[in-house]
Structure 1
């Protein structure tokens, strides 16, 4: 009985709801082509058809005769700016330190209307000490011995002195205080320069205790 009911139901469904074949056309219709042509004409890119003949490739002799084009590409990141941002890094917030460094350069440019990176380099070079003094115990007294610093050590001491001296500058943000301190160092009146002079004077007084290699 059930098979007969299924056959009857299928016949009724086929008579009431005939099957419709539906095809999907993925090509460009005439309407779409007309819209595309109008858009090309509107933007002015409707050009003449490209000829079938291709342009011949240049010969090696002509390529060798041409002078190479020199393109000056700046580095992805300056080493001094990278170290300056690393000195400002606190609690692993690298993006915040990089933002402070960028804003410092922006403030320098706003104050001086000059390229900020050369000013930063000049300030670091001016605040970098050449020596440091180590205290050693000889017998029953402490002896100060001057030691020469390398390039990286001088940069480290200079950046630390700049960050320390910038805390006494006026400004609402760290970037503004750093910019004012860097400009003050270039102008020649800064606490960092006074600290450098004090270190050099103390090393000069104790230059007799410096170890010399024969």
Structure 2
């Protein structure tokens, strides 16, 4: 049941509202909604609530989540898989990223990529028997081979780090590589020095 003042105001503006609907020429001269608002005085009219933000309006740069099928994370999970327990290895990979973020307060993926890049050697040395003696010959490594050596050194040296879980020890080792204090960098330097000493045995093509 409408209040008495509201019913009286509607009774005054209703004839003009009907006339505006019946004629096309008067539709542009009068606005029934504005007349109703004026007649009602201070009576407020409910408005639609503002639309909620959607995913399209959110800034993508504020969401820094690595993709589930990132090649580097997939390879790290494969190296951590033992006895076919890949789900357990995937959980360790997630813990590594979480600990890196907790220790550095920075996005974990750039740190992980930079640490593996710094730990990756460029060459290795193969031993060949030539003229009754062993000869060391430097050989350039591909991208997968470089990553394999880096992962192998990181996994081995992370076992000596302090930490309650494998993920925490790996995260500490990766951060030490970024800081230049990891023995993984010494392994890489020794491999490069040995290849440099025997660079004369490398086969070159013209």
Please indicate the TM-score interval, normalised by the length of the shorter structure: 0.5 to 0.7
From 95, 103, 106, give the equivalent of 2:87. 95
Alignment length (residue pairs): 148
Structure 2 Cα separation of the partners of residues 165 and 145 of structure 1: 27
From 150, 153, 157, give the equivalent of 1:165. 157
Point out where structure 1 has 5 or more consecutive residues left out of the alignment: 1-68
User: Where does 1:1-214 land on structure 2 (aligned, <5 Å)?
Assistant: 75-214=67-206
Taking structure 1 as the reference length, the TM-score comes to: 0.65
Point out where structure 2 has 5 or more consecutive residues left out of the alignment: 1-56
Structure 2 Cα separation of the partners of residues 74 and 117 of structure 1: 7
Taking structure 2 as the reference length, the TM-score comes to: 0.68
Cα 1:204–1:86 change in 2 (3 A) is same
Does structure 1 conserve the Cα–Cα contact (< 8 Å) formed by 2:162 and 2:169? yes
Question: Which runs of structure 1 show a deviation greater than 2 angstroms over 4 or more consecutive aligned residues?
Answer: 71-76
SS in structure 1 of the partner of residue 128 of structure 2: strand
Does structure 1 conserve the Cα–Cα contact (< 8 Å) formed by 2:66 and 2:109? no
Cα 1:166–1:200 change in 2 (3 A) is same
Alignment RMSD (CA, Å): 2.2
1:113 deviates by 0.6
Map of 1:47 onto structure 2:
none
Does structure 1 conserve the Cα–Cα contact (< 8 Å) formed by 2:115 and 2:178? yes
Structure with larger Rg: 1
Does structure 1 conserve the Cα–Cα contact (< 8 Å) formed by 2:126 and 2:139? yes
Deviations 1:134-155 (A, max 9, x none): 0001121110000000111111
Structure 2 Cα separation of the partners of residues 109 and 177 of structure 1: 14
